[in-house]
Amino acid sequence: MNGGLTIANAILVDPVGGIKTGSLAVSKDRIAAKAPDGAETIDAKGAHLAPGIVDLGVFSVDKAACIAGGITRVALMPDLSPPLDDPGLVQRSALAAKPDLWVHPLAAATRRLEGRELAEYALMVRAGARAVATGRSQVADSGVMHRVLAYAASQGLTVIAHAEDEGLVRNAVATSGETASRLGLPSAPARAEAMAIARDLALVEETGAAIHFRQVTTARGLALIRAAKTQGHRVTCGITPAHVFLSDIAVTDFRTFARLSPPLRSEADRQACLEAIADGTIDVLCSAHDPRGPEAKRLPFADAEPGMAGAETLLALGLGLVRDGLIDLPRLMAMLSANPARIIGVEGGSLGEGAAADLMLFDPDAPWIIDGSRFAGQAGNTPFDMLPTQGKVLKTIKGGRPLG
């Protein structure tokens, strides 16, 4: 069904227009002033209706997890096997989840993501790529990164960058500090993040390129982002709920579900992240969805692969920022939908007439316990396993068509 739809008795949450009570009409795949005759009606019964989440930087096209989490668009990282450094691979990825999910591939910044030779961005843009990404790691060679930014700028593309100095973090699995020392884990100083950001910002100043740091997790890194924004550079950044709500103490029991990249930081850095969300330095809240099975996680901590399943818990954990009074609900929706959509140049983040009818209906107060073993998606490797939380997606709607 996508001929028409009316969602009645809802609390409408628009990142720009704010909050109001009422109904929303859909004609075909667009939000409309009036639904066509004979349109289906959904009684929201007082639930909240907001734009579908645009999840910037996932590592797997996990359709079931996205539908369960209210995600209607994903920006897919190029770290696949083989990497997204070829127009044919980009095109296939863009079509991977139709008709239930928009997939926007991010082109590999360098061939095979090896950090040496630039990939062909123009051809990949024609095949559907929406931005350029360095993948799970930094482009270590400054000369290559300079060319990445200059070439991306010439194509009007944003560069999605990983912010950790490769020379410092090569074998590290944790952030330096008391926890890593006590557990005997290979670690790297948190300053590795600021060093990578400082270099890339210097190159942005030189090239005029737009850059988005996918995850910024330290006080020093956020201070650099804040200063660059003040100076008018085209800089944005994101963060995951794990880095907002957990510190490195979460790895105390060698919990491999908390083995992430970048690693969980100190409590002082976590507090700096909260301040940066409140003052608007952080633009995007993303899941970094990276489902991993037992073969990757049921290992000694240092041998386990980094990554977490985050798509199904992104909204519920984000609502914690609202409950804590850090931001209001429209601002959360901007971080989840409008801002990431703007960064990669796709539709999303609006309940205005004529906007794409990509929506989620949710109950912000519904209590539930996060249980990775019951996730709908490909894996349940969440660092929040068995945590009581509030906020549940009731229905995900893509192009005016209710899913699930």
Measured N-to-C along each axis, helices 142-154 and 191-207 cross at an angle, to the nearest 10 degrees, of 50
DSSP state of 86: S
d(CA 57, CA 70): 16
Q: What's the whole-number mean pLDDT along residues 169-186?
A: 96
Percent of the chain with pLDDT over 90: 98
**Which residues are CB-contacts of 324 (< 8 A; sequence separation ≥ 6)?**
none
Cβ neighbour number for residue 179 with a 10 Å cutoff: 20
pLDDT band at 2 (very low <50, low <70, confident <90, very high): low
Would you say residue 399 has pLDDT above 80? Answer: yes
The distance from CA 304 to its chain's CA centroid, rounded to whole angstroms, is: 22
Question: What is the predicted pLDDT for the residue at 198?
Answer: 98
Judged by DSSP in three states, 256 sits in helix
Would you say residue 156 has pLDDT above 60? Answer: yes
Percent of the chain with pLDDT over 70: 100
Beta strands in 210-250 (DSSP E): 210-213, 235-239
β-strands 30-32, 18-27 pairing: antiparallel
Residue-wise pLDDT tens digits, 179-229: 999 999 999 999 999 999 999 999 999 999 999 999 999 999 999 999 999
- For 321, the token pair is 């920022």
pLDDT band at 36 (very low <50, low <70, confident <90, very high): very high
* Alpha-carbon Rg for the chain in angstroms: 20
DSSP state of 351: -
Place of tokens 């957990």: 246
Cβ neighbour number for residue 31 with a 10 Å cutoff: 21
Question: What is the predicted pLDDT for the residue at 209?
Answer: 98
- For 89, the token pair is 């691979």
Question: What is the predicted pLDDT for the residue at 404?
Answer: 74
Would you say residue 3 has pLDDT above 80? Answer: no
What is the average pLDDT score of the chain? 97
